[in-house]
Structure 1
Amino acid sequence: NLHADPVMFTEKDGLPGKFIGELEADANGNLWLGTNRGLAFFDKANQTFRSFSLADGAQSLEFHITASMKSRNGELWFGGSEGITIVPADGAFRDVQTAPKVVVTGIKINDEEQDSLRCVSTGATNISQIRRLNLKYRQRTLSFEFIAIGYSDPCQQSTQVQVGGKGR
C-alpha cells in the first residue's frame, strides 16, 4: 500500500543488523532480508522477524548489496562473503529450528546448593532426573540452574519456565 504510513524497524524489533543490502519477497508475500549481520525473515501478518545465522545454515553473516534474486521456481538466492544461501520456495529454511534439550544442573533451596535431594515420586537422586520435591515450611525459595543443549545459535534461543503444583 503506497498510501500507508511508513513503519521503521530496528535491531530492537529483531533485525539482525542495521544495514539491509538485499530484499526479496517469497510466494506468501513475506520478506527475506540480507543484512550485514545475517539473514532475516519478516512475517508480514505478525510483524515479527526471525534471524538466521551460520548455525541455521546460512553461508555467512554478511550479505552483499544487491546480490539476491528470486529464481523461476521460487527459490530466493542471497549472495554473501562465503557463497550463496538458498531459501527454498516453500520457505522450509525458516522451519529448521529445533528446541534444545533442557537439563537441570543444580537446585538451590533458600539460596543454598543441594547435593542430596531425592525425587518424591521416583526416588531419583540425580538432579537432572528429579521431577517432584516436597519442601518444608521454612524452605521458601527454590532456584534452578540449567543448560540448554542444542545446535542452533545460543543468542537466538530463549527459555520459558512453567511451575506447577499446589501450595500447602
Structure 2
Amino acid sequence: MATLIVQNGKHQGTKIPLPNREVTVGRDDKCYVRLTSGDVSRVHCSLLATNEGILIKDSGSQNGVIINGMKIEGDHMMRPGDLLKVGPVKFTMEIPQLAAPPGSADDDSIATWLAEGDTNASAADSETTEIQTVEANREHAATAELPPAEPEAKSIAEEAQDIIRRHFETKKK
C-alpha cells in the first residue's frame, strides 16, 4: 500500500496510507485527504497508487499541483524521492516494493529524525491546517502546521538566478 508522508509543519513525518483506488485531495469534506488551507481548492487533485508510483491528476485547481518545484500539467507519475506540494503542505511517498532496503536510511528519514528534537517554533508556524483522511471511522484526524509562505519569483530570470545561487551555496558546504 502506498503512503503519503507529510514533510513540513507540526506533523512532519505523519504517514497517510492510500487505498488501492483513486482518492481526492482538497478542502471538501468528501476528499480522502482534507487540507483546510485557503490555498487548496475544494477538489485540488486526485491520487492513484500504482506499482510504479502515485499517478497525480490536477483537478483544475487554482494554485496547481507542484512536483519537485514545477507545476504539473495533466497527469504526472510521482516516484519515490519526488516532493509533492498541495497548497502549503509538502508530501513525499513510500511504496513498499519501491522502498529502500531494510537498514538503509534516506535523507528524508534522517531530516525527520533530526527535526523531531527541534523545539524552536517561529511565529510564522502558528497558522494551522487540518489534514484528514476519509475512512469509515473519521476519528483519525491530524492537524499540521502551515509553513511560512514561499516567496514567488517575479520572473523566470529571478527564479533561475535563485536556483543558481542555491546550487553554489550547497557546493561550498
Q: Does TM, normalized by the shorter one, top 0.5?
A: no
More strand, by proportion: 1
Higher Cα radius of gyration: 1
Give the TM-score taking structure 2 as reference length: 0.22
Give the TM-score taking structure 1 as reference length: 0.23
More helix, by proportion: 2
